[in-house]
Amino acid sequence: MKSFLVTGGAGSIGSYVCEYLIAGGHQVTALDNGPSLKVEHLFDSGRFKFVQDSVLVKDVVERLVDQNDVVIHLAAIADPKRYVNEPLNVLNVNLKGSLGLLDRCSRQGKRFVFASTSEVLGKNPHVPWKEDADRLLGPPNINRWCYSTGKALIEHYCYAYGQQEELPFVIMRFFNVYGPRCDDLGQGRVIPIFLEKFLKGQPVVVHGDGSQTRCFTYIEDTAQAVVDLALSDKALGMCFNIGSDRETSILELAQAMKKAGGFSNELIYQTHLEVFGKSYEDIPRRIPDVSRIKDVIGWQATTSLEDGLKKTIDFYRPIVRSGA
């Protein structure tokens, strides 16, 4: 049995990570500034603690790092609308929060498992992306890139602490995670945004012509990869793509959701400029090369988009029906 600190542990991915760790017999403390709704079911285990606080609070972070063997750092602001509207909050939480944790983990020799993002590679057109592919971003006056830059800087810090201070670390890059318990409907990423419209019978807004692609990765597959990597000694010092490698355009996604939920909503189109203004740039294609994680720990995404969408829709449908 090991003890884990999971920052963002009451969030979408975090709640599944905590659940799988508890099921594996481990001790878990979730640190989250949000409510404990998604992890209430774990309290009965007797091996789960919840601390409602921010990763920016130094003494809390230090105490919790000291009390645990491994830190899985998931807490972040990861919502494209917020990159554009609140770049200062995005940078502060993602940079300052991570630096505090890294510093303490390094001093105490604790394993640091960092949630980075496929976004670090920006708009590199040479898909599929291996972990060491080049980064291609727009300029810093385009707010969209603040998230990518912050996450990439923390990746640099992981390698630097690893090289100079012997920090044991693992970097994980997520690719468009979706599923039950994800963002509130209508917020965050494309799937919860589309789903709110589908469930409320309103037109679904496709940005651009909908030909831009993503690889949508089911949340339970993602959380399993996080836990497997956090427990693996072979993964130390490395970066891993965690994703499905099925490329889906946004238009195909809308159609797949229509089919999975039996919806008949109208699709309408708006340009990115109309939706986000000038401080946004879209990414045309985003596809991981997932050979490394398969080779090192034997993980691959197993949930099809169709099954994952069905489970997601089944989860959210009663919430909208009850008006919650």
Residues carrying an active site annotation: 147
CB of 115 to ligand UDP, least distance (A): 14
The binder of ligand UDP chosen from 42, 219, 227, 283 (CB under 6 A): 283
Query: Among residues 96 and 272, whose Cβ is nearest to ligand UDP?
Result: 272
Cβ 190 to ligand UDP shortest distance, Å: 3
Residues 68-87 touching ligand UDP, rule: CB under 6 A, are 80
Separation between Cα atoms, residue 306 and residue 312, nearest integer Å: 10
CA distance 274 to 286: 23
Tokens, residue 46: 């007797």
Q: Would you say 23 or 273 has its CB closer to ligand UDP?
A: 273
Phi, psi for residue 46 in degrees, rounded to 5: 75, 0
Number of residues located near ligand UDP, criterion CB under 6 A = 15
| Distances 7 to 52, 93, 112, 123, 250 between C-alpha atoms, Å | 10, 12, 11, 28, 31
Name all contacts of 86-90 with Cβ < 8 Å and 24+ positions apart: 87/143, 87/146, 90/146, 90/147, 90/150
Residue 158 host element (H or E): helix 145-165
304 bridge partner residues: none
Chosen residue from 73, 104, 151, 214 binding ligand UDP by CB under 6 A: 214
Q: Minimum Å distance from CB 207 to ligand UDP?
A: 3
Amino acid at 144: R
Minimum CB–partner distance for residue 253 and ligand UDP (Å): 8
Of 176 and 224, the one with the shorter C-beta distance to ligand UDP is 176
By CB under 6 A, tell whether 61 contacts ligand UDP. Answer: no
**CB of 250: closest distance to ligand UDP in angstroms?**
5
CA 180, CA 308: separation in Å to the nearest integer? Answer: 9
CB of 119 or CB of 221, closer to ligand UDP: 119
CA–CA distances in Å: residue 269 to residues 81, 192, 205, 279: 18, 17, 6, 19
* Amino acid identity for residue 103 in this structure: D
Looking at the Cβ atoms of 52 and 202, the one nearer to ligand UDP is 202
C-alpha radius of gyration, the chain, whole number:
19
Q: Which residue has the tokens 């603690």?
A: 49
| 207 lines the binding site for ligand UDP (CB under 6 A) | yes
Distance of closest approach, residue 231 Cβ to ligand UDP, in angstroms: 28
CA dist., res. 157 & res. 52, Å (int): 26
Which 144-203 residues touch ligand UDP, going by CB under 6 A? 176, 189-190, 193
The residue among 186 and 237 lying less far from ligand UDP, judged by its C-beta, is 186
Counting contacts by CB under 6 A, is residue 285 touching ligand UDP? no
From 19-27, 205-213, 220-228, 291-299, span contacting ligand UDP (CB under 6 A): 205-213
Contacts with ligand UDP by CB under 6 A lie at 80, 119, 176, 189-190, 193, 205-207, 212, 214, 250, 272, 282-283
